[in-house]
């Protein structure tokens, strides 16, 4: 078995564990989606960028309700999370053309959750050969894109998705019929 080290995550995990406030709840309170890197707000869940991504396009999908364990989530939260996962995969394919994805949850601090009190789903685009020696040998990460660029590339797609859903949710106007 091979083990992969991710030493750059240690500072983030320590910092997140020591925080008194929930980063997800704080992002929801803010109305400035750009500064909080929120891409989409659904009825029960929302999508935001991971501030410490493994790859460009690394998204997080979380419930709006502060809940620590997926097992405690409500059916409508689970359904919307699954639907937003489907949407995220489609939009990431459009914008980034990854070869595959990792999607998963770290539930609890001992499982690696940086924010253990508010569960969230990681969606990580992957490309063949995207893991390299730089973080392991050189303690350096190489990124092809900064967070602001990722936000600018993905937000318009999520805005179109929001508009599409709003149109689909509205009752259709009755069409006028003409009789002679």
- Which residues does the annotation mark as catalytic? 120
Q: In 130-166, which positions are buried (b, 16+ CB within 10 angstroms) versus exposed (e)?
A: eeeeebeeeeeeeeeeebeebbebbbebbeebeeeee
CA angle 81, 160, 22 (to 5 degrees): 40
Query: Measured between alpha carbons, how far is 55 from 6 in angstroms, rounded to an integer?
Result: 13
The SS3 call for residue 100 is strand
């Amino acid at each position: 078995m091979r083990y992969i080290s991710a030493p750059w995550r240690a500072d983030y995990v320590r910092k997140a564990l020591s925080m008194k406030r929930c980063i997800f709840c704080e992002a929801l309170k803010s109305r400035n989606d750009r500064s909080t890197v929120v891409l989409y707000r659904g009825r029960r869940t929302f999508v935001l960028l991971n501030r410490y991504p493994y790859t460009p396009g690394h998204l997080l999908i979380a419930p709006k309700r502060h809940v620590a364990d997926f097992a405690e989530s409500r059916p409508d939260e689970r359904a919307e999370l699954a639907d937003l996962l489907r949407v995220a995969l489609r939009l990431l394919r459009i914008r980034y053309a990854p070869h595959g994805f990792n999607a998963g949850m770290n539930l609890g601090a001992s499982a690696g959750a940086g924010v253990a009190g508010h569960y969230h789903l990681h969606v990580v685009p992957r490309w063949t050969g995207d893991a390299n020696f730089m973080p392991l040998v050189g303690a350096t990460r190489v990124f092809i894109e900064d967070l602001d660029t990722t936000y600018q590339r993905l937000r318009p797609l999520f805005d179109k998705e929001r508009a599409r859903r709003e149109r689909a949710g509205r009752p259709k106007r009755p069409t006028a019929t003409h009789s002679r």
